[in-house]
Amino acid sequence: MTPLSHWIWFHVAIVALLALEYLLHLAVPNTKRKAIYATILWVAAALSLAAVLVRFYTSAGAVQYLAGYAIEEALSIDNLFVFLLLFRLFRIPEVRQPRVLFWGVAGAIVMRGAFIAAGLGLLHRFHWISYAFGAILLFGAIRLLRPENPNDATQTPGWIRWLSTLSPISESQDHFFVRQNGRVMGTILLLALVAVELTDIVFALDSIPAVLSITRQPFLAYTSNIMAVMGLRSLYVLLAAMLAKLRFLHFGLAAVLAFAAIKMLLGAWIEIGPLVSLAVIAGLLSVTIGASLLFTRPATQPISS
């Protein structure tokens, strides 16, 4: 049983890190350099927490946390692809994107905590749920291997068209709500935020079972998940230009999900330790990222006249 003080101090530390990140935002004018410093801050904080956890959960618990953090960070990269498409779909300028991501991450913290609590409760009460989670992970792996329809990135989702018929949507992107013609209206920026939140719910269906395949300790599962999510905003700024170049990354993410599914489905017969899990996850991502950088798409040849 994790003491209440651990939960309190963890959230105090998160608030302090957010304050430090805000000071970085004020002190550093360059957007890319700001994102680099913020990414270093969150990665350093995540690794420092692992060192602290050794004292309370032994080295085995710290390794479970690191493996959970690694798998969540890897799956979060897939979120970034979708965020990039959503911002293009809604035509959200770069200067407005951090606000959407900030509130999107804030909502994700609440939802991830609730999902982890619900998932652990189900696993403790119904053993067969682990097989259901394993099946969900396998489905997610297969989904990542399917070729994407290029038209999906340019078509407006049906739920947005439906929502627009219920209530007029302002084209403004200065705030989430505006007053126009004497009435309060949601804006395109609000639609983008709702889309980001719904996207995180969908991805949580994969990521929460994945982290629960690593550890069933609530504090370790929660902290690894939150530390991975907190670095998403700065990571998005750094990787937005690179995402299109990582052509083989989805194979690595699919393999990571399949590995987590195998752990869930065969957990009663085969025990795979957290150290092995961490090595497998790091190896799969290293191979697919390395292959993406080595074997880039050939440049389109100009048509000679």
Answer yes or no: is 249 within a domain: yes
64 occurs within a structural domain: yes
CB proximity list for 249: less than 8 A, separation 6 or greater: 77, 285, 288, 289, 292
296 part of a folded domain: no
Tell me whether residue 303 is in a domain.
no
Predicted pLDDT at 43: 92
Report the pLDDT value the prediction gives residue 120, as an integer from 0 to 100.
63
The Cα–Cα gap between 253 and 20 comes to 31
CA distances from 28 to 31, 37, 168, 216, 257 (A): 8, 9, 38, 40, 37
Cβ atoms of 233 and 107 within 8 Å: the answer is no
Are 137 and 210 within 8 A, CB to CB?
yes
- Tell me, yes or no, whether 152 lies in a domain: no
Looking at the structure of the chain, the number of domains it has is 1
Which has more confidence, 155 or 11?
Answer: 11
| Residues 265, 210 contacting (CB under 8 angstroms) | no
Pairing of strands 169-170, 183-187: parallel
pLDDT band at 304 (very low <50, low <70, confident <90, very high): very low
Contact between 120 and 212 under an 8 Å Cβ cutoff? The reply is yes
146 phi/psi in degrees, rounded to 5: -70, 140
pLDDT at 41: 93
Per the prediction, the chain carries an average pLDDT of: 76
Kindly report, residue by residue over 194-240, the tens digit of the pLDDT: 877 777 776 676 677 777 778 888 899 889 988 988 887 777 777 76
Identity at 7, one-letter amino acid code:
W
Residue 148, pLDDT > 60, answer no
Residue 137 lies in a domain: yes
Q: Which of 141, 135, 143 is nearest to 266 (CA)?
A: 135
* Residues in contact with 266: Cβ distance below 8 Å, sequence separation at least 6, in sequence order: none
Q: Which residue has the tokens 């949580």?
A: 204
User: Residue 207's domain spans which residues?
Assistant: 4-146+157-291
**Residue 122 placed within a domain:** yes
Asked, for residue 300, whether it belongs to a domain, the answer is no
